[in-house]
Chains A and B, each alone.
Chain A
Amino acid sequence: MSAYILRRLLYAIPILIGVNLITFLLFFVVNSPDDMARMQLGDKRVTQEAIDTWKAEHGYDKPLLFNADAGGLGTVTETIFFDKSLKLFAFDFGQSDSGRDIGFDIRQRMWPSLAIAIPTLLVGLAISVSYALMIVFFRATYIDFGSVVLLVAMMSISGLFYIIGGQFLIGKLFHLVPISGYDTGLEALKFLILPVVVGVVAGIGSSTRLYRTFFLEEINRDYVRTARAKGLRERVVLFRHVLRNALIPILTGVVAVLPLLFMGALIIESFFGVPGLGSYTIDAINRQDFSIVRAMVFLGSVLYIIGLLMTDISYTLVDPRVRLS
């Protein structure tokens, strides 16, 4: 297995270089270093001289990808791309274009993201699995049909609607929790309820539908028929046999997203005023802060690769028939 993991890690290097290159190209197609300088220095009364000084200080005075003036290896190394990319592979994110330590900011802001993402994932998982099991239990009845209609409807509604609707109903009409905001320590709890509820409700439609499919796939297997033939109750069949086997694809799917929980929820954080990594990324895009954008995209890619690797490993742990080679 270790050889497999090593091989997958080596595969990750070209993937990360590619992701970094694409991010770089997309960013600089839209923004020039001059635009970035103007964004930092402001619109009013900024001189070209000030812009040039800012670019020189922040390393944006070099060619983007190819330095024709430099000889030999310098054609590639004396470029903005090389300068800004190399340290990323040592997880040295450096400073943002406005001068803040990106690593420090990430360490600070990942906790609010996790505070929303983990309960949303766990509660959502528990509700979706339970609901999917119930639908399967009542399969081919009006409860099954009605639930599928409800789930499809829930899937079709925009996430933004859940956010605004949740804020309106729970925060504004019922006055049960603050509409938005965040705090540290135990004070954070009252701010987490609404985003977690919204996150869970918004995710129930798609995840329950998916889990229902997993359960239905299992319920027609031979071992289930055998269990029933033994005279086991339907409840026991579902919870002891079907659930256990259907959990394999569910858990491996969950493992894949676990690392990405750090990255936060872009829209939820913005609407609920949660200072997590999702809003950090959105802010950076709005402020044209390339240093943060590339760091967050890089981090997201690394976490995604780790998630996929963990999925593979978790397969071997939950299903003894799977071997990594």
Chain B
Amino acid sequence: MLRTCRSWPLLMVVVLLFSACGQPPWNNPYPASQSGENILYGAFTERPKHLDPVRSYSSNEYAFIAQIYEPPLQYHFLKRPYELVPLTAHALPEVRYLDANGKPLAADADPDRIAVSEYLIEISPGIQYQPHAAFAKDEEGAYRYHDLNTQAVARINTLDELPETGTRELIAEDYVYQIKRLATPWLHSPIAGLMGEHILGFQALSEKIEDEAPDPVNGERPFFDLRQVAFEGAEVIDRYRYRIRLEGRYPQFVYWLAMPFFAPMPWEAEALYGQLGMEQNNLTLDWYPVGTGPFMLSENNPNLRMVLTRNPNFHGERYPGAGMPEDQAAGLLEDAGKPLPFIDQAIYSLEQESIPYWNKFLQGYYDSSGVSSDAFDQAIQFDAAGEAGLTDDMREQGIELVTAVQTSIWYMGFNMLDPLLGGDSERARLLRQAISIAVDFDEYISIFANGRGVEGQGPIPPGIFGHREGEAGINPYVFDWRDGRAVRKPLDDAKALLAEAGYADGRDPETGRPLTIYYEAMDAGPDGKARLNWMRKQFDKLGIELVVRATDYNRFQEKMRKGTGQVFMWGWNADYPDPENFFFLLYGPNRKVDGGENAANYQNPEFDQLFERMKNMEDGPERQAVIDRMTEIIRHDAPWSFGFYPKAFSLHHQWLDNVKPNLMANNTLKYRRLEPEIREQLRERWNPPVLWPIGALVVILILGSIPALMVARRRERSRAR
């Protein structure tokens, strides 16, 4: 008996070893029931704050809501440069211009004469909403859950507790309703201020809603039906057509129509969530979206996972039949004309730390991944020409790499209100230009971004109209064109500029001491130390002493708003692919100290005048010429050192198809196609349970216990004597 008991750990090990043969992977984080299913697995690192399209404005939120909500337009998945195409709209909007007397004007009319721009949008009939409790009706046709009593509401904690669902057809009124929501003060839309400048009567509507809406009860705003509020800026023409009126001309408005801000919102959803007690129980549009898109949010637990499931009522969009010439070879047109979406479900798990995220990707439990700094050397290598490629290990695993220069810029800004660096004096301008030469962003990209970036030559990144490639696109104040590439000017040129500015060897002529410049940094943590030391060294090349004022992001923003900083680094991510979205960061009336986004507080009358003209022009040679002149002004005045355009690297497994980076579109999940059988096979091959360590541990424990037992027995015997 005793002998049997002693040998059971060994028996267990043997049983375990045999039982592991042919079993599915033990480390599979997903239930066995999902095995072989057409489910895409991804991760999110930061929980989305808002899912209400009126408030949502960040990429981690768009990753979800762009699959659910459908604005009238979208970006073509494959074509470049980015091209707007209809989504729920029947066609691109018809734009009509009117003068101050309401008379129609020609499309090429002088922008100064245009008093009103009218956008007529016609949506396709027959589009249905996802099944949702807001649409559920009883036998008499009354809404099932729109008039719940307080006790009933108090018992509801999730939307699943309202089991009946319904749907209805998408109508033009839903789009107008959402535009009115943008103006609703308590919904805090981030673009309310901007739209107030453009949509006719937007401010008045906002005030009207504030006046007419019922007051909050216990902090909750009762349902206020916005359909009853008249609005000249957006009106329903008929069931499928609506019209938006803008003040003057604003050609970039069409891009906003491809963003979730302008997605439809059924009044029934607000009527459901607007019942008192719903908000207290976390039942809001910020948590339970309602859309017409290819997917619906079937599980919203941002502390664990978010699940998008195929919308059974989706209107049947098809995969694009045309793209770029290289798309055919890349296999991106193999699914042309097939109905979307291809996958049944997408499960996104919360992964706050990069190491487990990366390891689970390598094990095949995530279909795609970014490349964190920790894993960069393991995944990426550069060839002699500086081109990024995968390491042998990654290639053996069948992993594929996709890179794209982002429509973003990281720049070093000089505060133009600063007495030393700012202003339009020749002295300050030469000083800024000298610094721009000295701060080597190519080195920065290499050291701190693992080579993931392209040195900036102007404010407009590649992929946006107005950006010029090659020799014509270099910043001649900082770079020379040599051997077919842009080469940073030698440091002696910077020193010469500095001397010309009156700061020979970087010394202040008044004090004879090195010139001191203050750098406002937002990365006060230990990670930022190396970056800040590097920045100090760049200035030191000119003999300038850089004093770093590191602080947190809140204080940094405060300094920017007050215009008290001197030099800083900041970035901008494009809202839409138009040069206006970058040049406005340097537009005089948009200065940060006046509440705008122009953090350098730059102001140049000629530039501002050209900006006013450029923003109203159609893309073409004339607009390019204006942009070239604006770029030249900025390069000459140097309120920014153009830093770099970040480059996105993403990896995906061989079983994920139709992956093409589209930096403007967020609704690309519907194009993804999976081969789950391959995934299943490879997961099993990559993750066999390794059981010998358990056996080894048991053996070590047994072997280790033998001398201990001997000592114990000897001790007890010695005492017995």
Contact = CB atoms under 8 A, between A and B. Distances in A.
Partners in one complex: yes
Interface string B169-203: 00000000000000001101011111000000000
Interface in A265-292: 270-273, 275, 279-280, 283, 287
A175 B694 CA distance: 12
A41 B689 CA distance: 47
Contacts of B188: 40-41, 50, 53-54
A245 interface: no
Contacts of A169: 693
B356 A273 contact: yes
B83 interface: no
B711 A109 contact: no
B141 to A, nearest CB: 33
B557 interface: yes
Contacts of B25: 175
Given A45-B191, A235-B716, A35 B690 contact: no
A302 interface: no
Contacts of B57: 42, 44-45
A179 B359 contact: yes
B468 interface: no
Nearest to B686: A175
B363 A137 contact: no
A260 B715 CA distance: 42
Interface string A170-212: 0111111111111100010011000000000000000000000
Nearest to A180: B356
A100 B715 CA distance: 64
A143 interface: yes
Contacts of A67: none
B397 interface: no
Q: Summarize B's interface: helix, strand, loop or mixed.
A: loop
Given A134-B708, A171-B27, A177-B26, A38 B557 contact: yes
A280 B711 CA distance: 50
A179 B360 contact: yes
A47 B359 CA distance: 42
Pick the most buried of B303, B359, B716: most chain A CB atoms within 10 A of its CB.
Answer: B303
Contacts of B303: 109, 275, 279-280, 283
Interface stretch (B277-285, B430-438, B631-639): B277-285
Contacts, number: 157
Contact of A174 (B58, B279, B301, B689): B689
Pick the most buried of A44, A49, A279: most chain B CB atoms within 10 A of its CB.
Answer: A44
A104 B693 contact: no
Contacts of A15: none
Interface in B92-145: none
A183 B303 CA distance: 11
A180 B711 contact: no
A176 B691 CA distance: 8
Contacts of B339: none
A143 B304 contact: no
B193 A47 contact: yes
Interface string B269-289: 000000000011110101000
B149 interface: no
Contacts of A279: 303, 352
Nearest to A184: B304
Contact of A191 (B29, B192, B597, B715): B29
Contacts of B191: 45
A62 B16 CA distance: 65
Given A50-B192, A57-B186, A138-B711, A99 B284 contact: yes
Contacts of B353: 180, 270-271, 273
Contacts of B597: 44-45
A233 interface: yes
B714 to A, nearest CB: 11
Given A176-B27, A178-B28, A45 B194 contact: yes
A43 B561 CA distance: 12
A272 B28 CA distance: 14
6 closest pairs, A vs B, by CB?
A275-B303, A178-B29, A180-B356, A47-B193, A35-B554, A174-B690
18 contacts: A30-B552, A44-B190, A44-B575, A95-B280, A101-B282, A137-B712, A143-B708, A174-B690, A175-B26, A176-B689, A178-B29, A179-B360, A180-B351, A183-B304, A191-B29, A235-B716, A273-B352, A275-B301
